[in-house]
């Protein structure tokens, strides 16, 4: 695996009531870095999201159309989807001189760790 290779996996929950978390594993030059992604749900009429080009946008719903919306928190930033989170760090450094490059299949990860 080359630097920037990544995989996102769901964390283990002890109970069904435990919050869902994801972990982003990223290959750096000489190690694997882990980033916790918290999955949250909120009742909202406004959701701030990061667009494909990394700019913040606001999707506004009127109060009658408020709904439960999942969002993802990583490093103090809020994302409307995991895809948008990944897109951001393909164009912006996740660590010094490290960008996400391409996903790794779970099979490759299992083989590489043996």
pLDDT of 91 reads: 96
- Residue 80 β-bridge partners: none
Tokens matching residue 90:
């393909």
pTM strictly above 0.85: no
As given in the structure block, the two tokens for residue 23 are 């972990």
Q: Where are the domains of the chain?
A: 6-112
> What string of H, E and C letters represents the secondary structure of 11-32?
CCCCCCCCCCEEEEEEECCCCE
Question: Who wins on pLDDT, 93 or 57?
Answer: 93
pLDDT band at 23, cuts 50/70/90? very high
Which range among 17-31, 41-55, 62-76, 85-99 has the greatest average pLDDT? 85-99
Please state the rounded mean pLDDT for residues 13-32: 88
Assigned architecture for domain 6-112: 2-Layer Sandwich (3.30)
Cβ–Cβ < 8 Å for 100, 26: yes
Q: Compute the average pLDDT of residues 26-43.
A: 92
Reading across the β-sheet that carries 77-79, which strands appear in turn?
Answer: 6-10, 21-27, 32-44, 67-74, 77-79
């Amino acid at each position: 695996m080359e630097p920037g290779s990544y995989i996102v996996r769901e964390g283990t929950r002890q109970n069904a009531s435990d919050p869902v978390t994801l972990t982003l594993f990223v290959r750096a030059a000489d190690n694997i870095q882990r980033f916790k992604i918290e999955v949250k749900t909120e009742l909202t009429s406004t959701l701030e999201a990061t667009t494909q080009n990394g700019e913040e946008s606001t999707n506004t719903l009127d109060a009658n159309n408020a709904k439960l919306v999942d969002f993802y928190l990583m490093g103090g930033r809020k994302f409307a989807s995991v895809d948008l989170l990944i897109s951001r760090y393909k164009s912006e450094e996740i660590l010094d001189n490290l960008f996400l490059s391409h996903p790794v299949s779970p099979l490759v990860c299992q083989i590489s760790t043996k």
